[in-house]
Amino acid sequence: MDTPNDTKGPVRRFEASEWRKIVARYTGADAFRSLRQVAVTLGLLVGGLVLGYWLMGTAPWAAALLIIPLGGLLIRTFIIMHDCSHGSFLPWPKVNDTVGFITGVLTFTPFAQWRREHAMHHASAGDLDHRGVGDISTLTIAEYEALSRWDRLKYRVYRHPFVLFGIGPLHMMILQRFRLNGPATGGKQQWNIWMTNAALVCGLAIAVITVGWKPVFLLYLPAYYLAAAGGIWLFYVQHQFEEAYWERGQQWDYATAAITGSSHLRLPAILNWFTGHIGLHHVHHLGPRIPNYRLKRAHEENPIFAEAPELTLRTAWRTLRLTLWDEANKRMIGFREHRQMQRLAAHRAV
């Protein structure tokens, strides 16, 4: 049905000797910078919640406006947990894991389970033969066409932006409480899930008893919902764009998948601060043990990272229509373009 796109040149493969030395220069935690980041982030989060609690009684509209920056601070809190999951945030493993657990509770995320699942994502991102763990489900054209009508409908519903970004946060808030089975969940991860759930119940109960239900349900949870939706969107655009990288089996290459299969999302400075420069996702995927505060310097000092596909806030939204991987032309397409391709193929067959 499809004809290969001859104008697209071969994807460059990056030699290990070329990129491992680069990554090594930026790997390793700076304890002072990391602890300062924890203190500033959690200090602002607590301060914002206290201010919001006070404003709820005097100026409810101002308290509602605080939901946006509080959501941003929860994204930054999640980024700290994310770095802890890679062991890149603090040089002391037990302290690193403790900070990861605490920030995981604050973001409704079981740290140990998420860490294992995320490691699987890093090890297989862009590999068509190893999809499904910690990824947004993506089908090839052939796989989609082989589905029944019912399964096609389920996939279309799943890929709809309202489901991904509207219902997705509820999945993170509720279903992560019960992820007791799966390739990323062993005995240690199950124990961590229950410990996280217990900490959440105790934390929410203490909050409701001491300050009432309104700050919890009208301030913190809406801020979390906003943060979760934003986090899902960030993860989406970092791997779902037209010239993404997908290969099968032996053709898959870790470094190429990292640099060309992860986008460089250019964000305004304030959003880079809230997101811990996670828009430099190509740098992070190549060197997951590089802490967030070194990603920018690594990108700017090494020409190898200039080969990553660039997105902006404006162009990133256009990726929401992309839903299927076209193996013949090695690019993401949408359902509408797929229908056009089917009509063209039917017309040629007549």
Mean pLDDT by 10 residues, the chain (350 residues): 45 77 94 97 97 94 96 98 96 96 97 93 91 84 96 96 94 84 84 95 95 94 97 94 90 92 95 97 96 97 93 93 94 94 80
Domains of the chain: total: 1
Asked whether residue 114 is domain-assigned, the answer is: yes
Q: What is the pLDDT of residue 350?
A: 65
Q: What is the pLDDT of residue 18?
A: 81
* Of 36, 7, 134, 147, the residue nearest 82 (C-alpha): 134
Q: What is the pLDDT of residue 6?
A: 42
The SS3 of residue 146 is coil
Instruction: Report the Cα 333 to chain-centroid distance in Å.
Output: 21
Q: What is the pLDDT of residue 3?
A: 41
* Of 134, 133, 135, 153, the residue nearest 144 (C-alpha): 153
Q: What is the Cα gyration radius of the chain?
A: 21
Calculated CA dihedral for residues 303, 31, 189, 130, nearest 10 degrees: 10
* 103 bridge partner residues: none
Asked whether residue 328 is domain-assigned, the answer is: yes
Burial profile 185-196: b = 16 or more Cβ within 10 angstroms, e = fewer:
beeebbebbebb
Q: What is the pLDDT of residue 147?
A: 96
46 CB-near residues (< 8 Å, 6+ apart):
none
Asked whether residue 11 is domain-assigned, the answer is: no
Q: Is residue 144 within 8 Å of 337, Cβ to Cβ?
A: no
Characterize the bridge pairing of strands 331-333 and 324-326. antiparallel
Helix and strand tally (H, E) in the chain? 19, 5
Structural domain of 214: 16-349
Asked whether residue 9 is domain-assigned, the answer is: no
Asked whether residue 4 is domain-assigned, the answer is: no
Asked whether residue 146 is domain-assigned, the answer is: yes
Asked whether residue 177 is domain-assigned, the answer is: yes
Q: Please state the φ and ψ torsions of residue 262, each to the nearest 5 degrees.
A: -120, 135
Q: Is residue 325 within 8 Å of 122, Cβ to Cβ?
A: no
Asked whether residue 3 is domain-assigned, the answer is: no
